[in-house]
A and B are shown apart, each in its own frame.
Chain A
């Protein structure tokens, strides 16, 4: 009963440490791209939403799943694109 929860907790705590280690090394110049990039990554909940809209009917669970997919996809696609756009500007020195 407690097995999957404990494994999940281990994974969660270790991932937080990995995150802290990497993110403290990111320079302030890149904090906005970090934020929008991290934002896009939090759209990983898309994976969860895909599993909840697999019937194509109009049950409440499917409709909630559909909205979840739309929200998460906006987050993922928009987040990665806008981050890419911003980072392109940082590289503009070589362009000029």
Chain B
């Protein structure tokens, strides 16, 4: 048995784990099978860890146990405590840890195989071939970028540092310089350095420069572009794991990392298409701060109404579409939005929720918030499916969304958001927009929707305004 363990059983167990990962992700293609899919992936991970411990045989388990216990405790506490509105931050943070782990593994391998035994020779020779050395350097580079990039994204989402893009002077030149520094350090590490001291120095330099590149690369990106950047960092964390797989010659790491890399890339692409902006533009233009801080634009012909009048409009509507945006998440208004929806349904109206792909701060953010508030997921309608229906919709209630309903995207070719697919709420009978003020959204432009004849504003905090609408509707029901 034991002579079969290393060459046959262990690789087969890794294969089983890889298959279960794929089946697990496949489970996520349907809401009903998703939970089981996640379980399968977790089981796959357990198998992978047990197999690795089996492969290691008898070693000193102190660090391993300590690491597993500490990591599990922190991860579990974070997962249980997080609010659904804070999901983008948490995902960003976890992502950073994943990337950081890959970078640390590569660093540890370099130290353990070259620096500590004081081996002399290039990394390309000492690390089992040039490809192992190159992928170790790449793993450090990508992993370190993922770590600091995700931390900056976390701080931006958390509001610790402003969502506005931080633009350094000559930042493209600085970024290019640091990037070239990474390439140089990586090359020196793999092929030039022969003394352990030189290799240690090159590794440290590569790590430091990569950490800096991660900071510089996310810091100019605005809060509203976070869905793109989180998706991209997600992809990078997978790629870093794949690179570690190349270093260790472990196919399971290569496969799992590739799956995550593919997932992140697809989401990145979906987000970019939904904003009609090429990915390079998101990365390099420094576009898109948070709304609220900018000066209100000039508006004429804006009508506003009280919650009481708003409730009367909703009361007589046969079909109502609620359009949630990031403002709903900020105000934690998802529960009261659902209460309003339920109330209208009880009165016989057809209620659905229109979800723009980039609503919120990560892909699918609104869906999770509304699911938390017990909204049936079948009532959440994607943009392409709901747009033809607005013509026959009596009333639309826009809550905390702005640019995604701005008709300028379709009418004004010079607009900053020209060509971005929008929710065509302007086709509906009446459009009510709950908003604090007329300040522009992240694109920093005026929203022509607010001036349309069928639009009326309800000024106020999303949660309070919705609550007032609910109260008014209830008193109408009671009076009837």
B263 partner residues in chain A, CB cutoff 8 A? 19, 23, 34-35, 38
- Provide 22 A-B residue pairs closer than 8 Å at the C-beta atoms, listed in order of the A residue: A12-B254, A16-B259, A23-B262, A32-B363, A32-B365, A34-B28, A35-B264, A35-B362, A35-B363, A37-B28, A41-B21, A41-B259, A42-B234, A44-B48, A48-B250, A62-B63, A69-B71, A73-B71, A76-B75, A90-B371, A91-B31, A91-B32
Contact A27 B70 (CB under 8 A): no
Q: Which residue of A lies closest to B242 (CB)?
A: A12
Contact B371 A28 (CB under 8 A): no
Q: Which of B19-48 contact A (CB under 8 A)?
A: 21-22, 24-26, 28-32, 34-35, 37-39, 41-42, 45, 48
B53 partner residues in chain A, CB cutoff 8 A? 50
Partner among B68, B102, B105, B364 whose Cβ is within 8 Å of the Cβ of A65: B105
Main secondary structure of the interface of A (DSSP, over half): helix
Task: Name which of B89-97, B169-177, B397-405, B467-475 contacts chain A.
Answer: B89-97
Binary per-residue interface labels of chain A (52-91) against chain B in the complex, 1 for a CB within 8 Å, 0 otherwise: 1111110111101111111111111111111111111111
A78 partner residues in chain B, CB cutoff 8 A? 74-76, 78-79, 90, 94
A12 CA to B318 CA in the complex, in Å?
53
For the A-B complex, the count of residue pairs with Cβ-Cβ distances under 8 Å equals 383
- B residues neighboring A (CB under 8 Å): 21-22, 24-26, 28-32, 34-35, 37-39, 41-42, 45, 48-49, 52-53, 56, 59-64, 66-68, 70-72, 74-76, 78-80, 82, 84, 87, 90-91, 94-95, 97-102, 104-105, 107-109, 111-112, 115-116, 129, 131, 230-231, 234, 237-238, 240-242, 244-264, 266-267, 270, 355, 357, 362-365, 367-368, 371-372, 374, 376-377, 380, 382
- Chain A interface size, as a band, is 35 or more
B231 partner residues in chain A, CB cutoff 8 A? 35
Q: Which of A13-48 contact B (CB under 8 A)?
A: 13, 15-16, 18-20, 22-48
A96 partner residues in chain B, CB cutoff 8 A? 374
- A residues neighboring B (CB under 8 Å): 1-2, 4-5, 7-8, 11-13, 15-16, 18-20, 22-57, 59-62, 64-93, 96
A42 partner residues in chain B, CB cutoff 8 A? 95, 98-99, 234, 237-238, 240-241, 256-257, 260
B260 partner residues in chain A, CB cutoff 8 A? 19, 38-39, 41-42
A16 CA to B263 CA in the complex, in Å?
9
Looking at the assembled complex, report how far the CB atom of A2 sits from the nearest CB atom of chain B, in whole angstroms.
8
B256 partner residues in chain A, CB cutoff 8 A? 41-42, 44
19 further A-B contacts with Cβ under 8 Å, apart from A40-B45, A71-B71, are A4-B129, A19-B262, A20-B266, A23-B25, A29-B31, A29-B377, A34-B25, A38-B234, A38-B260, A43-B98, A44-B252, A60-B116, A66-B67, A67-B104, A73-B75, A79-B79, A87-B38, A89-B374, A90-B31
Contact B377 A64 (CB under 8 A): no
A5 partner residues in chain B, CB cutoff 8 A? 129, 131, 246
Q: Which residue of A lies closest to B77 (CB)?
A: A78
Contact B259 A18 (CB under 8 A): yes
Q: Which residue of B lies closest to A50 (CB)?
A: B52
A33 CA to B38 CA in the complex, in Å?
9
With known contacts A18-B259, A35-B234, A74–B363 Cβ distance under 8 A: no
Looking at the assembled complex, report how far the CB atom of A96 sits from the nearest CB atom of chain B, in whole angstroms.
6
Contact B45 A32 (CB under 8 A): no
Contact B94 A34 (CB under 8 A): no
Q: Which residue of B lies closest to A62 (CB)?
A: B63
Looking at the assembled complex, report how far the CB atom of B18 sits from the nearest CB atom of chain A, in whole angstroms.
8
Contact B94 A49 (CB under 8 A): no
A80 CA to B79 CA in the complex, in Å?
9
Contact B374 A92 (CB under 8 A): yes
Contact B29 A26 (CB under 8 A): yes
Which of A23, A35, A66: most chain B Cβ within 10 A? A35
B60 partner residues in chain A, CB cutoff 8 A? 54-57
With known contacts A19-B263, A38-B264, A89-B372, A32–B79 Cβ distance under 8 A: no
With known contacts A32-B364, A80-B42, A45–B244 Cβ distance under 8 A: yes
Looking at the assembled complex, report how far the CB atom of A13 sits from the nearest CB atom of chain B, in whole angstroms.
8
With known contacts A42-B98, A84-B39, A56–B63 Cβ distance under 8 A: yes
B253 partner residues in chain A, CB cutoff 8 A? 44-45, 47-48
6 closest A-B pairs by beta carbon, nearest first, are A73-B71, A69-B67, A19-B262, A78-B75, A31-B364, A56-B60
Contact B80 A85 (CB under 8 A): yes
